Amino acid sequence: MRIIAGAHKGCRLVTPGGANTRPTSDRVKESLFSMLDGYGVVAAANVLDLFAGSGGLGLEAMSRGAAEADFVDSAAASARAIGANAQKMGVGHSVRIHTVDVITFLAGLRGRGAEDERVFDLVFMDPPYPLGEDAVTQTLGLVSGLLDEESIVVLERSTRSPEPTMPSGLEIFRTKAFGETTIHFVQLVAPGD
Protein backbone atom coordinates (compact mmCIF):
# COMPACT_ATOMS: atom_id res chain seq x y z
CA MET A 1 0.00 0.00 0.00
CA ARG A 2 1.27 3.47 -0.86
CA ILE A 3 0.42 7.16 -1.04
CA ILE A 4 -0.73 7.78 -4.61
CA ALA A 5 -0.54 11.58 -4.96
CA GLY A 6 0.58 14.81 -3.36
CA ALA A 7 3.72 15.75 -1.45
CA HIS A 8 4.40 12.16 -0.34
CA LYS A 9 3.47 10.36 -3.57
CA GLY A 10 4.99 6.89 -3.73
CA CYS A 11 5.61 6.58 0.03
CA ARG A 12 5.07 2.93 0.98
CA LEU A 13 2.88 2.47 4.04
CA VAL A 14 3.28 -0.07 6.81
CA THR A 15 0.12 -2.15 7.26
CA PRO A 16 -0.89 -3.83 10.51
CA GLY A 17 -2.00 -7.02 8.74
CA GLY A 18 -4.64 -9.37 10.09
CA ALA A 19 -8.14 -10.27 9.02
CA ASN A 20 -9.68 -7.04 10.34
CA THR A 21 -7.65 -4.74 8.08
CA ARG A 22 -8.83 -4.16 4.51
CA PRO A 23 -6.79 -1.43 2.80
CA THR A 24 -8.61 0.67 0.20
CA SER A 25 -7.28 -0.19 -3.26
CA ASP A 26 -5.29 2.39 -5.24
CA ARG A 27 -8.02 2.46 -7.91
CA VAL A 28 -10.74 3.27 -5.36
CA LYS A 29 -8.49 5.77 -3.56
CA GLU A 30 -7.62 7.58 -6.80
CA SER A 31 -11.26 7.92 -7.82
CA LEU A 32 -12.35 8.87 -4.29
CA PHE A 33 -9.80 11.66 -3.97
CA SER A 34 -10.58 12.92 -7.47
CA MET A 35 -14.19 13.36 -6.36
CA LEU A 36 -13.15 14.95 -3.05
CA ASP A 37 -10.85 17.37 -4.89
CA GLY A 38 -13.87 18.36 -6.99
CA TYR A 39 -15.71 19.26 -3.78
CA GLY A 40 -12.73 21.30 -2.57
CA VAL A 41 -12.73 19.60 0.81
CA VAL A 42 -9.17 18.20 1.15
CA ALA A 43 -6.86 21.24 1.16
CA ALA A 44 -6.29 22.54 4.71
CA ALA A 45 -8.87 20.06 6.05
CA ASN A 46 -9.22 18.86 9.60
CA VAL A 47 -9.57 15.08 8.98
CA LEU A 48 -11.03 12.30 11.11
CA ASP A 49 -10.16 8.74 10.02
CA LEU A 50 -12.37 6.21 11.85
CA PHE A 51 -11.61 2.46 11.83
CA ALA A 52 -8.30 3.73 10.47
CA GLY A 53 -6.31 0.50 10.00
CA SER A 54 -2.98 1.66 8.54
CA GLY A 55 -4.26 5.24 8.22
CA GLY A 56 -4.09 5.12 4.43
CA LEU A 57 -7.05 7.41 3.75
CA GLY A 58 -6.19 10.07 6.32
CA LEU A 59 -2.52 10.01 5.33
CA GLU A 60 -3.45 10.32 1.65
CA ALA A 61 -5.42 13.43 2.62
CA MET A 62 -2.37 14.75 4.52
CA SER A 63 -0.21 14.19 1.43
CA ARG A 64 -2.73 16.21 -0.59
CA GLY A 65 -2.70 19.21 1.74
CA ALA A 66 -4.95 18.43 4.73
CA ALA A 67 -3.83 20.40 7.79
CA GLU A 68 -4.21 17.75 10.49
CA ALA A 69 -5.75 14.37 11.15
CA ASP A 70 -7.09 12.29 14.00
CA PHE A 71 -6.90 8.51 13.54
CA VAL A 72 -9.10 6.17 15.58
CA ASP A 73 -8.72 2.40 15.72
CA SER A 74 -9.09 0.01 18.64
CA ALA A 75 -6.16 -2.20 17.55
CA ALA A 76 -2.73 -1.43 19.00
CA ALA A 77 -1.12 -2.83 15.81
CA SER A 78 -3.03 -0.24 13.77
CA ALA A 79 -1.92 2.58 16.07
CA ARG A 80 1.71 1.48 15.69
CA ALA A 81 1.38 1.31 11.88
CA ILE A 82 -0.25 4.76 11.70
CA GLY A 83 2.47 6.23 13.92
CA ALA A 84 5.23 4.68 11.80
CA ASN A 85 3.58 5.90 8.58
CA ALA A 86 3.09 9.44 9.89
CA GLN A 87 6.74 9.63 10.98
CA LYS A 88 7.91 8.22 7.63
CA MET A 89 5.95 10.97 5.86
CA GLY A 90 7.18 13.65 8.26
CA VAL A 91 3.65 14.60 9.37
CA GLY A 92 3.75 13.20 12.89
CA HIS A 93 3.38 16.69 14.37
CA SER A 94 -0.02 17.09 12.63
CA VAL A 95 -1.42 13.69 13.60
CA ARG A 96 -3.21 12.41 16.71
CA ILE A 97 -3.67 8.67 17.14
CA HIS A 98 -6.40 7.32 19.42
CA THR A 99 -6.27 3.61 20.33
CA VAL A 100 -9.86 3.22 21.45
CA ASP A 101 -13.20 1.93 20.22
CA VAL A 102 -14.72 4.36 17.70
CA ILE A 103 -18.04 4.73 19.58
CA THR A 104 -16.21 5.46 22.85
CA PHE A 105 -14.00 8.05 21.13
CA LEU A 106 -16.92 9.83 19.44
CA ALA A 107 -19.07 9.83 22.58
CA GLY A 108 -16.13 11.37 24.47
CA LEU A 109 -15.73 14.15 21.91
CA ARG A 110 -19.43 14.97 21.97
CA GLY A 111 -19.49 15.07 25.76
CA ARG A 112 -16.90 17.83 26.18
CA GLY A 113 -19.23 20.81 25.78
CA ALA A 114 -19.73 23.44 23.11
CA GLU A 115 -16.60 25.43 23.94
CA ASP A 116 -14.43 22.39 23.18
CA GLU A 117 -16.35 20.98 20.21
CA ARG A 118 -14.19 20.02 17.27
CA VAL A 119 -15.48 20.27 13.72
CA PHE A 120 -14.07 17.96 11.07
CA ASP A 121 -14.09 18.94 7.41
CA LEU A 122 -13.57 15.40 6.16
CA VAL A 123 -14.43 12.14 7.92
CA PHE A 124 -13.41 8.72 6.60
CA MET A 125 -15.47 5.81 7.91
CA ASP A 126 -14.18 2.46 6.70
CA PRO A 127 -15.59 -0.01 9.24
CA PRO A 128 -15.07 -3.75 8.94
CA TYR A 129 -17.61 -5.07 6.43
CA PRO A 130 -19.14 -7.42 9.06
CA LEU A 131 -19.99 -4.44 11.33
CA GLY A 132 -23.78 -4.37 11.63
CA GLU A 133 -25.89 -1.64 10.08
CA ASP A 134 -27.16 -0.51 13.50
CA ALA A 135 -23.57 0.17 14.59
CA VAL A 136 -22.89 2.06 11.35
CA THR A 137 -25.99 4.22 11.92
CA GLN A 138 -25.02 4.82 15.56
CA THR A 139 -21.52 5.88 14.50
CA LEU A 140 -22.92 8.26 11.87
CA GLY A 141 -25.24 9.75 14.48
CA LEU A 142 -22.28 10.53 16.74
CA VAL A 143 -20.25 11.91 13.82
CA SER A 144 -23.07 14.26 12.80
CA GLY A 145 -22.42 16.49 15.82
CA LEU A 146 -18.82 17.01 14.68
CA LEU A 147 -19.67 18.37 11.23
CA ASP A 148 -20.60 21.70 9.70
CA GLU A 149 -22.51 22.43 6.49
CA GLU A 150 -19.34 22.05 4.35
CA SER A 151 -18.16 18.75 5.91
CA ILE A 152 -18.20 15.46 4.02
CA VAL A 153 -18.29 11.94 5.46
CA VAL A 154 -16.92 9.19 3.23
CA LEU A 155 -18.49 5.85 4.22
CA GLU A 156 -16.95 2.74 2.66
CA ARG A 157 -19.03 -0.45 2.71
CA SER A 158 -19.31 -3.75 0.89
CA THR A 159 -21.39 -3.63 -2.28
CA ARG A 160 -23.35 -6.51 -0.72
CA SER A 161 -24.27 -4.43 2.34
CA PRO A 162 -27.65 -2.70 2.32
CA GLU A 163 -27.66 1.06 1.82
CA PRO A 164 -26.94 2.50 5.25
CA THR A 165 -29.76 4.05 7.23
CA MET A 166 -29.03 7.71 7.80
CA PRO A 167 -29.70 9.13 11.24
CA SER A 168 -31.73 12.31 11.48
CA GLY A 169 -29.84 15.29 10.08
CA LEU A 170 -27.65 13.38 7.60
CA GLU A 171 -28.16 12.43 3.97
CA ILE A 172 -26.31 10.47 1.30
CA PHE A 173 -25.70 12.84 -1.60
CA ARG A 174 -23.63 10.54 -3.82
CA THR A 175 -22.87 6.82 -4.08
CA LYS A 176 -20.23 5.16 -6.24
CA ALA A 177 -19.53 1.41 -6.55
CA PHE A 178 -16.13 -0.10 -7.36
CA GLY A 179 -16.41 -3.89 -7.63
CA GLU A 180 -16.81 -5.16 -4.04
CA THR A 181 -16.57 -1.65 -2.56
CA THR A 182 -19.27 1.03 -2.39
CA ILE A 183 -18.49 4.59 -1.31
CA HIS A 184 -21.30 6.73 0.12
CA PHE A 185 -20.77 10.49 0.39
CA VAL A 186 -22.70 11.84 3.37
CA GLN A 187 -23.40 15.41 4.51
CA LEU A 188 -25.61 17.33 6.90
CA VAL A 189 -29.11 17.94 5.58
CA ALA A 190 -29.30 21.51 4.32
CA PRO A 191 -31.60 23.78 6.35
CA GLY A 192 -35.09 23.82 4.85
CA ASP A 193 -34.77 20.36 3.21
Q: What is the CATH number of the domain that holds 115?
A: 3.40.50.150
Could you tell me if residue 193 is inside a domain? no
In a domain, 141, yes or no: yes
Percent pLDDT > 90 in the chain is 78
**Residue 40 pLDDT level (bands cut at 50, 70, 90):** very high
Residue 170 lies in a domain: yes
pLDDT, tens digit, 9 for 90 and up, residues 66-77: 999 999 999 999
pLDDT above 50: residue 16? yes
Pairing, β 181-188 against β 170-178: antiparallel
pLDDT at 110 over 80: no
Domain assignment of residue 31, yes or no: yes
- Give the residue numbers spanning the domain of 133: 2-13+22-188
Residue 67 sits at the vertex; the CA angle it makes with 116 and 164, to the nearest 5 degrees, is 70
Amino acid at 146: L
Within a domain: 33: yes
How far apart (Å, rounded) are the C-alpha atoms in residues 121 and 83?
22
Amino acid letter, 69? A
How many domains are contained in the chain?
1
pLDDT band for 115, please (50, 70, 90 cuts). very low
- Pick the closest to residue 186 from 173, 168, 169 (CA basis): 173
Average pLDDT on 52-81 reads 96
29 in any annotated domain: yes
- Mean predicted confidence (pLDDT) in 41-45: 94
Tell me what the mean pLDDT of segment 51-65 comes to. 96
Give the per-residue pLDDT at 191.
72
Average pLDDT, the chain: 91
pTM of the model: 0.93
**Whole-number pLDDT of residue 76:** 95
Residue 3: its pLDDT value, please? 92
> What digits encode the pLDDT tens for the residues 134-172?
999 999 999 999 999 999 999 999 999 999 999 999 999
- What pLDDT is recorded for position 103? 95
E strands present in the chain = 46-50, 68-72, 95-98, 122-125, 152-158, 170-178, 181-188
For residues 35-57, give the mean pLDDT. Answer: 95
Whether residue 43 is contained in a domain is answered as: yes
DSSP 51: S
* Residue 99, domain member (yes or no): yes
For the cut 60, the answer to whether the pLDDT of residue 113 exceeds it is no
Q: Is the pLDDT of residue 20 over 90?
A: no
